[in-house]
Structure 1
Amino acid sequence: MSTIFLDVTRLLTRLYDGLLPTGVDRVGLAYIEKYGNNARAVLSERGFSTVLSERDSQQTFALLISSRQNRNAIRVMVARACLSRLREIKLRGILLHTSHNGMEFGRYYDAMAKRDIRPVFMVHDLIPLTHAEYCRPGVDATHRNRIHTALKHGSGLITNSQATLDSLAAEAQRANLPLPPTVVAHLGSGVTPRPLATRPIAMPYFVMLGTIEPRKNHWFILHVWRRLAEQLGAATPKLVVVGRRGWECENVIDLLERCESLKGVLIEEADCSDEKLHAYLQHCQALLFPSFVEGYGMPLAEALALRVPVLASDLAVFHEIADTIPDYLDPLDGPGWLARIHAYAQTKSPERDAQLGRIERFREPTWAEHFERVDAFLETLR
C-alpha cells in the first residue's frame, strides 16, 4: 500500500489558536484516526509545503486527536519541519487533503509532483461559486481558483455528497476543465454513544447548530422567535443557538444582543463542548436547520442518529441524506416555520410523534462506510 500523507495545516493552525473543531475539522480528525498510524503529516503556507518526519508526524497526530493546545510543542514541530524540508527526498505516495485551505497554489502541486506524491482532495461544497452572496467578499474568486486548480492537478477528488459532485461537474463543464476521477463518500455523523444526560432546560426548547453566517438563516429564525414570544409570552419555548459568531452577521448580532422580545427565551452557546451539545440535542423538541444552501449538513445526520426530530430547509442534499424523514419547509416560509414550531412545542404533538416514527428507519452514515468507499477509490488510482 502506498504511503498516505495528510495535510494537517488547518487543524494545527486552529488548535494553536484555541478554536473548537468545525465540521470540516472533524473530517480531518476522522482521517487522522483512520490513516494516522502509518501516515506522514504535511504542513503548508501559501503553497510552500513540507513533510514531517515519521516521529514528528505521530506527535502531531496525537496532539490533534487529543485537542490539547500546546503552543510550544507546535512551534517546535513547525521549526523542525521547516529544517527537514532542506533534506527531503522523493517520498512517493498519495496525499489526502480534506480541507479547502491552500488548494489554490500551483506550487503546492508542483512540490508534490517532485516528491512523487499524488494529491487527492475532498471537495466539501462550491457554495462561494454558486451562492457568493452568502460568503465574505472575495471568497468566490479564491474558491474558484481552488476548485479550478484541483480540477487541473488533482489525481482524484472526493465529494461528501452527490449534490456536491453535481455542482463540481457543472463547474468543470462551465470552465472547460477535465473532471478527474471522483467518488461520493457520505460523511460519518460523528455521534458517539453517550448515556442520557440530565435535561438542561426544564421547559420545551429547540436547537439551532452552526456558525452564525448569512446562509444559515439565523436572522429569519430569530424573527420567527420574536413572533412566537409576542404570541405565547411566558409559554414561549426556548431557542438554543449553538455556534460561533461568523462574518457578515451584524443584523443577527443586533437581534441577539438588543432585541427585548428575545430576552429570556434565547440562549447563545458560542463555545459548546460535545458533552453539552449532546445534552441539548437529547432533550430538544427538534433541531432547526433552515439553511439556504449546504454542501452536506452534518448536524442533520447527527441529530437523526440521536433520534432527534429535525425541521429543515427543502434542499436536495438533505433529501439525499435523510430521505423523507425530516419535516421540510421553504427557508423563507415564515408562517410555515411558525406553525410547525408551535406544533412541535406541544407536550403531545402528533406531528413530532410522526417524525419520531419515521426516524426508526434512518440509516446513519458511518465513517466505516465512508472509508470503504475511499479505500476502494484509492486502489483504482494506484
Structure 2
Amino acid sequence: MSTIFLDVTRLLTRLYDGLLPTGVDRVGLAYIQKYGSKARAILSERGFSTVLTERDSQQTFAWILSSSCNRNAIRALIVRACLNRLREGRFQNAVLLHTSHNGMEFERYYSAMTKRKIRPVFMVHDLIPMTHAEYCRPGVDSIHRQRMHTALKHASGLIANSQATLESLVAEARRANLPLPPSVVARLASGVTQRPFSICPLPVPYFVMLGTIEPRKNHWFVLHVWRRLVEQLGAAAPKLVVIGRRGWECENVVDMLERCTSLKGVVIEEAHCSDEQLHAYLQHAQALLFPSFVEGYGMPLAEAFALNVPVLASDLDVFHEIAHDIPDYLDPLDGPGWLARIQAYSRADSPERSAQLKRIERFHEPTWAEHFEHVDRFLETLH
C-alpha cells in the first residue's frame, strides 16, 4: 500500500474562515475519513507546498472532521509547517490525493512533488468554467484551463467524478493535443450523513433547492416560477426553501430574494444550514428542485434519493448517468412545465409524486465504499 498524502489546504482555509462545507469539501472530508489515520497532510499556497509532520497531520485531520476551529492553533501550525519545509526529505511509494481544484494550475506544485518522490493524483469535478464560462466569474475560465492543462501534462493519475466529466476531459485533451494520464471514474456518494427521522420543519408543503447561489444553478428562473405560483394560488402556494450561501454573479437572484414582495414569507433562504437542518428539510420536502443548466455531477440528487425524496431535474446527461429514468426531467427554461410539475407534486395525493417514489425504490445509491474500491484499484495500477 502506498503512503498517502492529502492536500487539505481548501478544507483548512474554509474551516479557518468559518464556512460550511460545499459538495467539493464533502469529498475531501470523505477522503480524510478513509485515509486520514495513516496519511500525511499537505498545505499549499500558489503552488508552494509543505508536508506536515505526522503529529500535525493528525491534529489537522481531527480539526477538519470535527469542524473545530481554533484560529491561533491553526496559525501556529502553519508557522511550524513553513519551518518544517526546510527539513523535508523524500518518500518511498508515495501518492498525493488532491480532491479540490485549488492550486492545480501551478507547475511548481508538481515539481515539488516530483522532488519528494510523491506521485500526484487529482480529482476532476468538472470543466464547467471552460465549457460554460458564462456561468462563472470573469477570468475563471483561463485559470481552470491552466489547471486542467497542467494536470494533463504532469499528474500521475486523474479521478473523474462521472463519465460525463471524464468525456469532457478527454475532449479537452484532444483539443489541446495533450496526453491523458491514467484515469478512472469513481462516482460520489451522498454527502449527508444518515440521521434518525426528524420532525418536519414546516407545517405546509414545500420544495427545496440545494447549492450555492450562482448563475448555472438557475435560481432566478425558479423564483419567477414561484412568483407565478403565488399569483395563481395565493396563500395556498407551496413554500420554497433555498439552501446555500450567496455566491457570485447572482445580483438578480438577490434582488428577487430581498425586494420581491410576493415572495416574502413564501421563499425561505437558509444560507447557513447545518447538516441536521439540511437533513430535516430534505427528508420532508415534496421534491428537490435541480434546474441547473450544467453540472459535473450533482451530489444533491443522490442525497435526495438516499432520503427517499423525489427530484425534479434538468434534462442533463450526467443526471441520466446517475439516476437513469427515476427523476422527472424538464428543460431548464420550460417555465410552464416546471410550474405544472411543481403544482402536481404539491398535492397530498399526487400520482406523479407517488410514481417517482416507486421508481426511487430501484435507485442504486453510490456509496463511498464503492468509490474507494475504484480509487484503491486505480492506485495499485500506478506503481
Scaled by the length of structure 2, what TM-score is found? 0.99
Deviation per CA, 1:61-88: give whole Å up to 9, x if none: 1111101111111111111100000011
Partner amino acid, structure 1, of 2:75: R
Q: Secondary structure at the match of 1:251?
A: helix
User: What secondary structure is seen at the aligned counterpart in 1 of 2:90?
Assistant: coil
One-letter amino acid of the counterpart of residue 81, structure 2? A
Q: Find the residue that maps to 1:65 and give its secondary structure.
A: helix
Partner in structure 2 of residue 69 of structure 1: 69
One-letter code aligned to 1:285? Q
Is contact 1:282-1:306 (8 Å) kept? Answer: yes
Deviation of 1:265 after TM superposition, in Å, equals 0.6
Unpaired segments ≥5 residues, structure 1 = none
AA in 2 matched with 1:90: R
- Which residue of structure 1 lines up, in the alignment, with residue 370 of structure 2? 369
Equivalent residue number for residue 156 of structure 2: 155
- Aligned ranges 1:1-382 → 2 under 5 Å: 1-92=1-92, 93-382=94-383
Secondary structure, in 3 states, of the residue corresponding to 2:165?
helix
Aligned equivalents of 1:369 and 1:178: distance in 2? 28
Where 2:229 maps in the other structure, the secondary structure is helix
Cα displacement string for residues 97-137 of structure 1 (whole angstroms, at most 9, x for unaligned residues): 00000000000000100000010000000000000000000
State whether residues 201 and 281 of structure 2, in contact with CA within 8 Å, keep that contact through their aligned partners in structure 1: yes
Preserved CA contact (<8 Å) 2:23 2:191: no
Paired AA for residue 220 in structure 2 = W
**One-letter amino acid of the counterpart of residue 43, structure 1:** L
Q: Secondary structure at the match of 1:41?
A: strand
Q: How many residues in Structure 1 have an aligned counterpart in Structure 2? A: 382
Contact 2:192 2:275 in 1 (8 A): no
SS at match of 1:328: strand
Report the AA paired with residue 33 of structure 1: Q
Please say if residues 288 and 312 of structure 2, whose CA atoms lie closer than 8 Å, have aligned partners that are also in contact: yes
Identity of aligned residues (%): 81
- Contact 1:119–1:156 at 8 Å: present in 2 too? yes
Segment of structure 1 superposing worse, 365-374 or 90-99: 90-99
User: Is this contact kept in 1: 2:326–2:360, CA < 8 A?
Assistant: yes
TM-score computed with the length of structure 1 as normaliser: 0.99
Could you give the per-residue CA deviations for residues 269-312 of structure 1, whole angstroms, max 9, x where no partner exists? 00000101111111110000000000000000000011000000
Q: Secondary structure at the match of 2:41?
A: strand
Q: Is the 8 A contact 1:217 1:290 kept in 2?
A: yes
Residue type matched to 2:76 in 1? V
| CA–CA distance in structure 1, aligned partners of residues 198 and 60 of structure 2 | 33
The letter of the residue matching 1:162 is Q
Greater than 6 Å deviation, 4+ residue runs: none
One-letter amino acid of the counterpart of residue 289, structure 2: L
Using the alignment, how far apart are the partners of 2:180 and 2:195 within structure 1?
42
Contact 2:9 2:42 in 1 (8 A): yes
Shift in Å at residue 191 of structure 1?
3.5
Query: 1:243 Cα shift?
Result: 0.3
**Amino acid in the other structure paired with 2:128:** I
Paired residues of 1:191 and 1:306 also in contact (CA < 8 A):
no
Are the equivalent residues in 2 in contact too, given 1:41–1:51 (CA < 8 A)?
A: yes
Cα distance in 2 between the residues matched to 1:138 and 1:152: 22
Gaps of 5+ in 2: none
2:209–2:289 CA contact under 8 A, matched in 1: yes
The whole-number CA distance in structure 1 between the counterparts of 2:73 and 2:121 is 29
**Residue 27 of structure 2 contacts residue 191 of structure 2 at CA under 8 Å; is this kept in 1?**
no
Give me the whole-angstrom Cα distance separating, in 2, the residues matched to 1:2 and 1:305.
33
Q: SS at the partner of 1:27?
A: helix
Q: Provide the aligned C-alpha RMSD in A.
A: 0.6
Deviation at 1:360, TM superposition (A): 0.4
Per-residue deviation, 1:193: 2.6
Contact 2:282 2:288 in 1 (8 A): yes
Counterparts of 1:374 and 1:333, CA distance in 2 = 39
Task: Kindly indicate whether the alpha-carbon contact (under 8 Å) linking 1:48 and 1:108 is maintained by their aligned counterparts in 2.
Answer: yes
- The answer (yes or no) to whether the contact 1:344–1:351 under 8 Å persists in 2 is yes
| Separation (CA, whole Å) in 2 of partners of 1:32 and 1:189 | 16
